[in-house]
Chains A and B, each alone.
Chain A
Amino acid sequence: MKKVVIIGNGMVGYKFCEKFVASERFNEYKLTVFGEEPRRAYDRVHLSEYYAGKTAEDLSMSSATWYEENNIDLHTSEMITEINRIEKTVANHRGTKYEYDYLIFATGSSAFVPPIPGVEKEGVFVYRTIEDLEATEAYAKKLKAAGKTEAAVLGGGLLGLEAANAVKNLGLNAHVIEFAPRLMPRQLDKGASDMLQSKIEELGLQVHLSKQTQYIQGDKSIEGLQYIDETELKVDMLVVSAGIRPRDEVARECGLEVGTRGGIIVNQKMQTSDSNIYAIGECALLNNMIYGLVAPGYDMAEIALNQITGGDNTMPEYIDMSTQLKLIGTEVASFGDALNEAKEDIDEITYVNKRTGIYKRINVAKNGKKLLGGILVGDSSDYNALFQIYNTAMKLPENPEDLILGSRGGDNGSLLGDVMDLPDEAQICSCESVTKGQICGAIQNGEAKDLADVVSCTKAGTGCGGCKPMVKDLTDATLKSLGIEVKDNVCEHFDYNRQELYDIIQIKGYTSFDEILDKKGNGGHGCELCKPLIASLMATIHADTANKEYVIQDSNDRFLANIQRNGTYSVVPRIAGGELTPQQLIDLGEIGKKYDLYTKITGGQRIDFFGATLNQLPKIWKDLIDKGFESGHAYGKSLRTVKSCVGSTWCRYGMDESVSFAIELENRYRGMRSPHKIKGGVSGCIRECAEARGKDFGVIAVEGGWNLYVGGNGGATPRHAELLAEQIDNETVIKYIDRFLMFYMRTAKPLQRTAAWLDRLEGGIEHLKEVVINDKLGIAADLDTEMNTLVNKFECEWKQAIEDPETMKRFSHFVNSDEDDDNLVFVPLRDQKMPEHWK
């Protein structure tokens, strides 16, 4: 067995091992890994999530037992300090020697700290490892306790912005200091930087550009930054993120060739000046460059592995540095030669929308035939398509601006047209270097039968996940081309999709889960997918509440409350249209105080109480119901709220009574179970203060009646609702919403919001108009009747629950004790409380 020793257990070092384990000749080698950090390799790219509640374990690249299971010796907290290239041995800091046949440097880099006077002062940190984060966090706590709040991050590059986000997550005011006149100077131009700056400043971060720090103020600990231009910034803490320095010291000592500015020199085979020693990742100097991104690092791991196991693959001369990421909530992407550093003769096309915060730029060859690069800020949803067009040198549309403006002729085809038109060598997943040919091939040769198989055998989509939609489209299209029906069965227990089950329950009149499982199931006992789905279908068809068969309800419906981070619940009473009297507000306040609940206003104009234990829920609800409140169904896949602006009752611009109409609509659809949650909005004029077009249904008062919009959404994929009907009266609005919702509830996929449903509805909004307004399918009368049944049968399920002693048994933490969960720990937060952080 050949011995392979890997120095460094970071992301690239781990990836090398992972690829090795998956290779055919793995059993001919024995792997030994040394890492100087105390932990197994973790995802450094998402380090700032550590402050947002992720644990070191969440960030870990592998399970605790992975190395052992694969017979890899992992030595953590162990530094290799000496290499004897003649004996072919490495020695750790205690002098223990290990032999190798092949040696891999995956030592990565350390933070580069510029030689500014005062960097040694207390309160100056770097941002690199979990230990750095822990030290920063501890210091931040000390600062906050002393009433100090200002923290600066030196460096406005990619990592610096990540660090600033981390600092902000610690509850400090974050300042980003950048030497260059723009943020992310290596990826963005001025326009893109300006847009990114305004987006992150909206979130309370402050950006200081063109600032060079002369020295750090303060005696023992940092008190401020003195700039060369004689201005200053008073700060209590500094995180330096001004670049990286390759870790090449051991390589240098054993006589390997290194670059003048650091980095272990390698050839295209990733071999160092000693042919048995390789270097990969950020410690390697390839093409006289250090590549500080994870994707090229993974490629290097692949090449080194291929070379060691007898292959002849090499790194390409040109390495793509395209990136797509989310920085402090803003999507940022750049690809190809984004800044035209090659100084080609190009046409630069830019689109700037300050209202929506979107900046797009593409560089097109003068002849209009080729896309050379580009930048996206604020909306990077077209990144995959643009990257493919650039990377495969696809022919551009007649008007290249269509690439960023969309084809303005009305057809909403994707940029790429058909994904199947891509060449086989088109790289779909850049993190794992998976091509279209590999994805389609895995299905064609029978290795993969569905999307999950494709992901597990090609690893496509397991990195940043940005390519997932394209992987799914390719999978579906390939399956279809092979004549395989893509069946969207709800789970392993039923050979039916949601709509088929809907029809079965309606026609056969089934009323219990067991009955459906016995008559129509595959012989199993159900699961977390089919149970809540059938519960929802029966609620829609039979107008049941969630109390009917509570063991098949999703956890939140089972306990009629939203489970929160520490297993306690939140309580939201209905406040229809957001209207409540001062007395009701006082009543709510009294109840919140009585049970010591954390209290917050929701986005849907209601009041949310957090921190209620299971045992407390019925008591709180009894008090609420006594004061005239009812369930707000915030826990259900059902109508949440109908948000309203104040409308013509008070507003001097109002065209109609939006509050009254919102209350009427909310009370009409309350409690109704649907494929996913439903939100509504009513605005009294076109200023649209209720944000009705971001809702599943939105009504806006105009001259001569209401305009009705449907299929809107906020969230991860915002979508404006589309106009269904114009200038209609209250009665017609209700009739159309009734039919729209009922049609959606009948035909949507499980957990599909109206926005996604409408996107995939054949014929789109025009077809919906035909069904809802012109009754093209001849089902309008049925839809009307079904909706009326639901409306008439409404009952508050919390009232049902507290009036039935049998139901009340559900709300105790233990069946053999009246005690509460003794594992709960709350910590103070701004005069209220919150659950202790997840460790």
Chain B
Amino acid sequence: MEEILEIYKTTTTEEVTVWFKAAKISDFPKNGGACIKYKEKQIAVFNFERKNMWYACQNVCPHKMEMVLSRGMTGDHQGTPKIACPMHKKTFSLENGKNLNGDLAPIATYPVKLEGDNVYVGFAE
């Protein structure tokens, strides 16, 4: 099962080679998330409207390898934006992917940018 994780690698804005036009801003719930498909990848994208920030990460939760993080609940832990997995409430920082309430492997995060009405997610490949 671990091979699912291999295609997800944290990408910084500097490393981006492809800005993928994912969907319209209005396709994403405010202060919540939705999932996008990019090639064989499933990416969860979150709109932190209250902070005016967007985050993206792998949709697969490293705990049980299910494609569910986009359906989780967003929030913050002492100021760090986080996502809570809907399966077992494992929480991950959306800034560095670190598991905040356990010692699971970190999740891969990706940069997000907005242009016009559209949401773009950055990949390095």
Which residues of chain A have a CB within 8 Å of any CB of chain B? 63-64, 66, 492-493, 514, 517, 524-528, 530-532, 550-552, 554-556, 558-559, 563, 565-567, 614, 809-810, 813-817, 819, 821, 823, 838-839
Tell me the bound Cα distance from A816 to B25 in angstroms: 12
User: Would A514 and B50 count as touching, CB distance under 8 A?
Assistant: yes
Q: Which residue of A lies closest to B34 (CB)?
A: A815
Tell me the bound Cα distance from A809 to B27 in angstroms: 8
The verdict on A525 contacting B35 (CB below 8 Å), with A531-B73, A558-B71 known, is no
User: Would B75 and A839 count as touching, CB distance under 8 A?
Assistant: no
Q: Which residue of A lies closest to B51 (CB)?
A: A525
User: Would B91 and A528 count as touching, CB distance under 8 A?
Assistant: yes
Residue contacts A-B, CB under 8 angstroms, 23 given: A66-B103, A514-B50, A524-B75, A524-B76, A525-B48, A525-B76, A528-B91, A551-B31, A551-B74, A558-B71, A559-B71, A563-B86, A565-B66, A567-B67, A814-B42, A815-B22, A815-B28, A815-B35, A816-B37, A823-B66, A838-B64, A838-B65, A839-B1
Q: Tell which of B11-19, B77-85, B109-117 binds the partner.
A: B77-85
What is the predominant secondary structure among interface residues of chain A facing chain B? loop
User: Would B37 and A819 count as touching, CB distance under 8 A?
Assistant: yes
* B35 touches which of A514, A563, A566, A814 (Cβ 8 Å): A814
User: Would A526 and B75 count as touching, CB distance under 8 A?
Assistant: yes
Contacts of B97 in A (CB 8 A): none
The verdict on A528 contacting B84 (CB below 8 Å), with A492-B78, A567-B68 known, is yes
Contacts of A531 in B (CB 8 A): 73, 75
User: Would B81 and A532 count as touching, CB distance under 8 A?
Assistant: no
Contacts of A559 in B (CB 8 A): 71
* B79 touches which of A63, A524, A814 (Cβ 8 Å): A524
The verdict on A525 contacting B75 (CB below 8 Å), with A550-B29, A815-B35 known, is yes
Which residues of chain B have a CB within 8 Å of any CB of chain A? 1, 4, 22-23, 27-32, 34-37, 42, 48, 50-51, 60, 64-68, 71-79, 81-82, 84, 86-87, 89, 91, 103-105
Instruction: Name the distance in Å between A562's Cβ and chain B's nearest Cβ.
Output: 11
Contacts of A838 in B (CB 8 A): 64-65
Interface centre among A531, A555, A809, by most chain B C-beta atoms within 10 angstroms, is A555
The verdict on A563 contacting B29 (CB below 8 Å), with A527-B82, A823-B66 known, is no
Interface centre among B60, B74, B75, B89, by most chain A C-beta atoms within 10 angstroms, is B75
Q: Which residue of A lies closest to B1 (CB)?
A: A839
Contacts of B28 in A (CB 8 A): 815
Contacts of B27 in A (CB 8 A): 809, 815-816
Instruction: Name the distance in Å between A60's Cβ and chain B's nearest Cβ.
Output: 10
User: Would B75 and A555 count as touching, CB distance under 8 A?
Assistant: no
Tell me the bound Cα distance from A554 to B67 in angstroms: 17
Contacts of A528 in B (CB 8 A): 72-73, 75, 84, 89, 91
Tell me the bound Cα distance from A823 to B34 in angstroms: 17
Of all A-B residue pairs in the complex, the 4 with the closest CB atoms, nearest first, are A527-B75, A555-B86, A551-B32, A528-B84
Instruction: Name the distance in Å between B121's Cβ and chain A's nearest Cβ.
Output: 10
Tell me the bound Cα distance from A552 to B76 in angstroms: 13
Instruction: Name the distance in Å between B40's Cβ and chain A's nearest Cβ.
Output: 8
Tell me the bound Cα distance from A64 to B103 in angstroms: 9
Contacts of B48 in A (CB 8 A): 525
Q: A525-B48, A555-B71, A823-B66 are in contact. List 16 more A-B contacts (CB 8 A).
A: A524-B75, A525-B31, A525-B51, A528-B84, A532-B73, A550-B29, A558-B71, A614-B71, A813-B67, A814-B36, A815-B34, A816-B27, A816-B36, A819-B37, A821-B42, A839-B1
Contacts of A527 in B (CB 8 A): 73, 75-77, 82, 84
Contacts of A819 in B (CB 8 A): 37
* A563 touches which of B71, B73, B74, B81 (Cβ 8 Å): B71
User: Would B91 and A839 count as touching, CB distance under 8 A?
Assistant: no
Q: Which residue of A lies closest to B73 (CB)?
A: A528
Contacts of A821 in B (CB 8 A): 42, 67
Tell me the bound Cα distance from A556 to B86 in angstroms: 8
User: Would B23 and A563 count as touching, CB distance under 8 A?
Assistant: no
Contacts of A558 in B (CB 8 A): 71
User: Would A563 and B68 count as touching, CB distance under 8 A?
Assistant: yes
Contacts of A839 in B (CB 8 A): 1, 65
Q: Which residue of B lies closest to A491 (CB)?
A: B75
User: Would B87 and A567 count as touching, CB distance under 8 A?
Assistant: yes
User: Would B66 and A525 count as touching, CB distance under 8 A?
Assistant: no
User: Would A816 and B86 count as touching, CB distance under 8 A?
Assistant: no
Instruction: Name the distance in Å between A511's Cβ and chain B's nearest Cβ.
Output: 16
Contacts of A524 in B (CB 8 A): 75-76, 78-79
Contacts of A532 in B (CB 8 A): 73
Tell me the bound Cα distance from A585 to B115 in angstroms: 52
Contacts of A816 in B (CB 8 A): 22-23, 27, 36-37
Interface centre among A514, A550, A813, by most chain B C-beta atoms within 10 angstroms, is A813
User: Would B75 and A815 count as touching, CB distance under 8 A?
Assistant: no
Tell me the bound Cα distance from A809 to B24 in angstroms: 13
Instruction: Name the distance in Å between B57's Cβ and chain A's nearest Cβ.
Output: 15
Tell me the bound Cα distance from A563 to B64 in angstroms: 14
User: Would B36 and A815 count as touching, CB distance under 8 A?
Assistant: yes
Instruction: Name the distance in Å between A285's Cβ and chain B's nearest Cβ.
Output: 36
Q: Which residue of A lies closest to B77 (CB)?
A: A527
Contacts of B87 in A (CB 8 A): 563, 567
Contacts of B65 in A (CB 8 A): 823, 838-839
Tell me the bound Cα distance from A526 to B34 in angstroms: 18
User: Would A823 and B75 count as touching, CB distance under 8 A?
Assistant: no
Tell me the bound Cα distance from A810 to B4 in angstroms: 25
User: Would A551 and B30 count as touching, CB distance under 8 A?
Assistant: yes
Instruction: Name the distance in Å between B72's Cβ and chain A's nearest Cβ.
Output: 7
Contacts of A493 in B (CB 8 A): 75
Tell me the bound Cα distance from A491 to B34 in angstroms: 25
Tell me the bound Cα distance from A474 to B93 in angstroms: 33
User: Would A823 and B84 count as touching, CB distance under 8 A?
Assistant: no
Contacts of A554 in B (CB 8 A): 73
User: Would A823 and B60 count as touching, CB distance under 8 A?
Assistant: yes
Q: Which residue of B lies closest to A553 (CB)?
A: B73
Contacts of B4 in A (CB 8 A): 823
User: Would A525 and B37 count as touching, CB distance under 8 A?
Assistant: no
User: Would A63 and B103 count as touching, CB distance under 8 A?
Assistant: yes
Tell me the bound Cα distance from A374 to B100 in angstroms: 42
Instruction: Name the distance in Å between A287's Cβ and chain B's nearest Cβ.
Output: 37
Contacts of B51 in A (CB 8 A): 525
The verdict on A526 contacting B86 (CB below 8 Å), with A555-B71, A839-B65 known, is no
User: Would A526 and B66 count as touching, CB distance under 8 A?
Assistant: no
User: Would B22 and A823 count as touching, CB distance under 8 A?
Assistant: no
Q: Which residue of B lies closest to A556 (CB)?
A: B86
The verdict on A492 contacting B22 (CB below 8 Å), with A63-B103, A551-B29 known, is no
Contacts of B77 in A (CB 8 A): 492, 527
Contacts of B73 in A (CB 8 A): 527-528, 531-532, 551-552, 554-555
Tell me the bound Cα distance from A559 to B72 in angstroms: 11
